[in-house]
Every structure is written in C-alpha cells, then in structure tokens.
Homo-oligomer: A and B are copies of this chain.
C-alpha cells in the first residue's frame, strides 16, 4: 500500500529521527510505497494566512474559510498545499509522527493541518439536511484510508494514565484522533506512544523498534478506534448530540467511541 509519513521534529539525530528512518525502512522492506513530509526539512510554512491563495487581492478582507474554499475550487492554492493534498489522495495510510509539546502536536504540524485541510477538501464537504450534516466524522474526502499517530513524550506513562496529572493520553489525543483524523474520514488506529524519552538505552530502544515494527506490519489489519459515525443515526441532527438511548447518562470524549 501507499503510506504517507508526516514528520515533525527539528533534529534528524533524535529519537524521533531514528524512528522515522526505521519506519521508512520497515515499510519499504514490506513492499509498501512511502512518501515522507519532513516538515522541518521542508521549511514548512506554519501559519495560515492570505498568502495561501495565489489570487488574494491586497485590501480585501480575509475570511480564512472562504479564501480556502475559493482557492481550492479555483485551483489557486499555493503549490506546497496542493502537493500535500496530492500525497493525501495517493496515500492508503497516513502516519503523523511528532513529539508531544505542551500536550498537543508541534505548531509546524498544526499549521500543516490548518493549511492542507482546505474547505472543500477536508471540511465543508457534502450537503446539510435533516438527516445529514455534511460528509464528516466517518465520511468525507479521506474515507477508506487509515491513520495512526506515533507520539513521543518525556513524561512517565503514569503521568498520562487514567488518573495521571497530565490527563489520560487518549483524551489528550482525542482532538487529533477524532477532530483532525476521523473528521475528514480516516479510520483511526490506536496510537503508538513512547514515554520517558530522556531514559532510553540500547536495550529499550531495541524493544521500541520491535513494538513499532509490529504496529507497522499490521497497519492494514489493526482494528481502528470505534468512533461513532455522525450520519448513521447515533446523533440528533442538527444538534449533533448523542441520542439519549445511546450511552445513557454518560458524557465526555469517551461516549463517541462505540
């Protein structure tokens, strides 16, 4: 299959850099085609602004959604944006690899999402009616593809446990898993998370490669997180609240997993 690895770490000679190189080798050895978007090496423009539309006229009020919609429809997006969209179309599986900085993805990767996820491409897709609220959350331009995060963090696993002070890792990643990946249609696999990156000796590094290798070997068969599709009856439309008879009395991120 075709795998797109979007990678956000500034230093090639880092744990992240080593694992990126390992992943490419492992995937290619298994016969997959791999493209890498190494955002720091590409000097990726992180901030969404008027310059993302080639036909922006000075002095015209900038509406980010409207400008994105027009540029996507008219073919006036900048080349860096269209190239990433082409890679996403080409990919069967998307991997986002990054260190957890301040409990989310690095700014350079957030800016990749904001700029590449154009209106008409990743949002603003499909019709709104009494039965549907656009093609999103399980439907959309990227439906049928898979996605997985590879995340590193300096903190201990217990700090990110169910009662850990940082909050549970699965909840910290929910806005990415559900809001960035499931939203435009990806099936989202459980993440591969490495804790306590300041304490990795050769033996532990070898174990990490083993475990990551198994995850890469099973990308096509691993069961995705069972997020609930928006338009299949679980949610009231247009309120988009979970129906009373589903997960009754519960609330929070977890109710959106069947």
List the B side residues contacting A80 at CB < 8 Å.
Answer: none
Determine how close the nearest CB of chain B comes to the CB of A91; give it in whole angstroms. Answer: 19
CA distance A110 to B8 in the complex (A): 14
Q: Which of B48, B180, B250 contacts A106 (CB 8 A)?
A: B48
Q: Please, which residues of chain B bring their CB within 8 A of the CB of A230? A: 165
Within 8 Å of chain B (Cβ to Cβ): is A137?
yes
Give chain B nearest CB distance to A246 CB in angstroms: 9
Q: Are B171 and A253 in contact (CB under 8 A)?
A: yes
Quick one: which of B10, B154, B165, B238 contacts A241, CB cutoff 8 A?
Answer: B165
Query: Size class of A's contact patch?
Result: 35 or more
User: Distance in Å from the Cβ of A29 to the closest Cβ of chain B?
Assistant: 27
Tell yes or no: A64 within 8 A of B by CB: yes
**Interface on chain A toward B: helix, strand, loop, or mixed SS?**
loop
Q: Which residue of B lies closest to A46 (CB)?
A: B46
A44 to B99, CA, bound (A): 22
Instruction: Assess A107 versus B240: contact at CB under 8 Å? Given A117-B102, A163-B251, A251-B168.
Output: no
Shortest beta-carbon distance from A204 to chain B in Å:
18
| Chain B residues in 8 Å Cβ range of A14 | 61-63
Q: Does A179 contact B (CB under 8 A)?
A: yes
Q: A108-B47, A240-B156 are in contact. Are A165 and B137 (CB under 8 A)?
A: yes
Shortest Cβ gap from A45 to chain B (Å)? 9
Cα of A166 to Cα of B111 in the assembled complex, Å:
20
- Offer 19 A-B interface pairs, CB within 8 angstroms, sorted by A: A10-B50, A10-B62, A11-B61, A14-B61, A40-B47, A46-B46, A46-B47, A64-B99, A102-B114, A103-B180, A107-B114, A159-B241, A162-B251, A165-B241, A165-B256, A167-B175, A167-B178, A167-B252, A167-B253
Q: 7 additional contacts, CB 8 Å, given A10-B62, A163-B242?
A: A46-B108, A47-B106, A158-B239, A159-B239, A162-B252, A165-B230, A168-B251
